[in-house]
Amino acid sequence: MSVLVLSLAALGVLLGLVLLGYGLRELGFAYRIFARDPHTVLDTPNGGSVELSGTVLAWDDVLESPFTETACVAVEYAVEEKRRKSTNNGSTTKWVEIDGGTLVVPFRLEDESGNVLVDPRGADLRLTEDARIRVEGGEAPPVPIARYIERDEDVSDENTSLSLGPLEISTGRDRRYLERRLDVGESVHLLGTARRDTTASRETGQVNAVVERSIPPESGLLACVRHRLFGPPFLLFDVSERRAARRVAVRGLLSTLAGVLFTVISLAVGAGGL
């Protein structure tokens, strides 16, 4: 019995340390955003880690969000379905994600000094929820969602019903359609890595640089994991600098407190099992 308790305690300590490390890293990002003024676009050709704040401009392509058909350069979307589960005490309902994804395209960030190309592939998107559309089972969805269902083979139409004489009973399940977007013309704040690129400018006001995810200095799985954990961040926000810092700080604080709690409780359980 003590071996099992010690094993569970060790797993708890490990989980606590992971949460603690993640939380401290987030708090470090929050301090960096709070304490430093953003760079200007004109600084990006120098390369290296940058923090930028500006407005989203369209580049070559623009996305159309799946549920509202809004012009954007990044979108995270999900389809959730209400499911009922039987238990010993009756039944419970919960929302289950049945489909979703992330789409991004390059865009330009513009501030007072000019604009720079941003390649958002691999970015950690910290976007606000822009749309939460609930469609009851048996109801016709809005036109954009109906078009999405027609395109996606994994999502069936829940606008179904059963006719029993004069009665018509809805048989479809309730769904929620969620979108988090970075729209064209919206404010954007980012932490990333700039690289000089003479092919990135085509017009006056555009600089010869690209902001993107940093590349690991070494090859190999271990180097990639180490770079992912400790390398320069690539964060994209659809809010102002101050709100971005606050958002990161809250996440970091919650994770840090959870890590400390897990670690302390696990150590106490482990000590009791000795």
Residue pLDDT, tens place only, 53-72? 999 999 988 999 999 999 99
Q: Which residue has the higher pLDDT, 4 or 95?
A: 95
> What's the mean pLDDT when you consider all of the chain?
86
User: For a pLDDT cut of 70, what percent of the chain falls above it?
Assistant: 88
DSSP code per residue over 48-84: EEEEEEEEEEE-S--EE-TTT--EEEEEEEEEEEEEE
- Cα atoms found within 13 Å of the Cα of residue 207, Cβ hemisphere only: 25
What does the pLDDT read at residue 159? 60
The per-residue pLDDT for 174 is: 86
pLDDT score for 181: 96
User: Residue holding tokens 């929302």?
Assistant: 95
pLDDT above 70: residue 126: yes
DSSP H or E stretch at residue 102: strand 90-104
Residue 191 clears pLDDT 70, i.e. is over it: yes
Contacts of 263 (CB under 8 A, 6+ apart): 12, 13, 16, 17, 20
Q: Does the pLDDT of residue 194 top 60, yes or no?
A: yes
Q: Which residue has the higher pLDDT, 90 or 153?
A: 153
Residue type, 2: S
Q: What is the pLDDT of residues 138-172, one digit of tens each?
A: 788 899 998 998 888 778 766 655 555 555 555 57
Question: Which token pair is 240?
Answer: 């102002």
Residues pairing with 104 in the sheet: 74
Q: Residue 77 above 80 pLDDT?
A: yes
- Where is average pLDDT lowest: 141-155, 162-176, 183-197, 229-243? 162-176
pLDDT 10s digits, 247-264: 999 999 999 999 999 888
pLDDT for residue 137:
79
For the beta carbon of residue 19, count every other beta carbon within 10 angstroms.
Answer: 20
Residue 48 pLDDT > 70, yes or no? yes
